[in-house]
Amino acid sequence: MVDAAPLFFLQVRNSIDYALLVIALIIEAFAFINCLTQRSDAFGAIGTLSKGLWLALTGAALLVTVLSQYAVGLLGFIALTIAAVYLLDVRPALRDAADGPSSW
């Protein structure tokens, strides 16, 4: 009975790591695809980095996560932070520039 605990712990840890990897890949892929579909001139209008640079950053973040196959670690956190900054800061500003400010 004592020997089963480490095996159970490893299964739970591996399941959590896999779930975090899938979530990170979804977030980073969404950020990259959204950046890909935005107009290039909108990035200059909101005063942020260029579209090409954001594509490179979000694409590199996705690539790092795919190649490492591990979302928990220094590179994984950096990659997820890049995608989060794009999605939480740049994307709403791009949407406001295109549609006007929202009521939210």
Judged against a pLDDT cut of 90, whether residue 84 lies above it is answered with yes
pLDDT tens, 64-78?
999 998 888 999 999
Give the C-alpha separation, 64 to 84, whole Å: 15
pLDDT of residue 99: 78
pTM of the model: 0.86
Minimal CA–CA distance to 30: which of 68, 65, 62, 71? 62
Q: Where are the domains of the chain?
A: 4-97
pLDDT of residue 103: 62
- Name the residue type at position 86: Y
| DSSP classification of residue 104 | -
pLDDT tens, 42-57?
999 999 999 999 999 9
Q: What is the mean pLDDT of the chain?
A: 91
